[in-house]
Every structure is written in C-alpha cells, then in structure tokens.
Amino acid sequence: EAQVTQNPRYLITVTGKKLTVTCSQNMNHEYMSWYRQDPGLGLRQIYYSMNVEVTDKGDVPEGYKVSRKEKRNFPLILESPSPNQTSLYFCASSAGLAQETQYFGPGTRLLVL
C-alpha cells in the first residue's frame, strides 16, 4: 500500500530534550516536506527536500533541522524543543515539483512541557 508513515504518532517531552520524528514514504517520491498545523494559522511549511541531500527552509524553519540521506526517509529533528513547538506535525511527499498531489502522513501530535 502506497503511504507516508510517521513515528511517533504522539509524543510528550520536556523543554530541551532532543527528539526526532521520523517520516518514510514507499512511493519513490522525490519531493518531501514537513508542515506544522496550529489553530487559527492553518498548515505552514517547515522544511522541504527536492531529492537526496537537497533540503531547504520553508516558512517556519527556526528550531528545526532535517536530513535527507535516503530517498524514502525525511526525519524532522528538534535539537532543543520549546513549548512553542507544541503542534501537530505532518510529513508529505509528492512525485515532483509540478502540480502533483502531495500525500500526507498521519500526523504527529507533539506536546513540549
């Protein structure tokens, strides 16, 4: 089954404790992206990757890191989480840059205390 998977689905952590949210897709998509969803603000792009070893900042990259060592994986790293990073996070992938549909993972709910 073609899908985007994220782990963990739910995470509670404390300020400053490094964490990684994994994202994997099995559709051989070149393009991957991370979004965060906050009430009243909708979804905003954090980082994106056009292909292996090619990543760039989205609209709200502060406090996040990403890597793209393999085509299928695009982990999101919070080196020192803060309470304002409490949010619902989505990973998405698409075949390319044109109008191809972006398929979303199931989401990761993060609470930073």
Binding residues for another protein, rule: CB under 8 A, are: 31, 33, 35, 40, 42-43, 45, 48, 50, 56, 58-59, 88, 90, 92, 94, 97-99, 101-107, 109
Query: Which CA distances in Å does 47 have to 40, 61, 66?
Result: 20, 6, 7
The CB-of-68 to another protein minimum distance in angstroms stands at: 14
Nearer to another protein, 14 or 41 (CB): 41
Smallest distance, Å, CB 34 to another protein? 11
Which residue, 17 or 74, has its beta carbon nearer to another protein?
74
Handedness of CA 70, 55, 29, 74 (dihedral sign): positive
CB of 90 to another protein, least distance (A): 6
* CB of 7 closer than 8 Å to CB of 106: no
Nearer to another protein, 18 or 32 (CB): 32
Cis peptide before 83 (omega within 30 of 0): no
Q: At 107, which amino acid appears?
A: G
Residue found by looking up tokens 């070893």 in the block: 53
Choose between 38 and 80: whose C-beta lies nearer to another protein.
Answer: 38
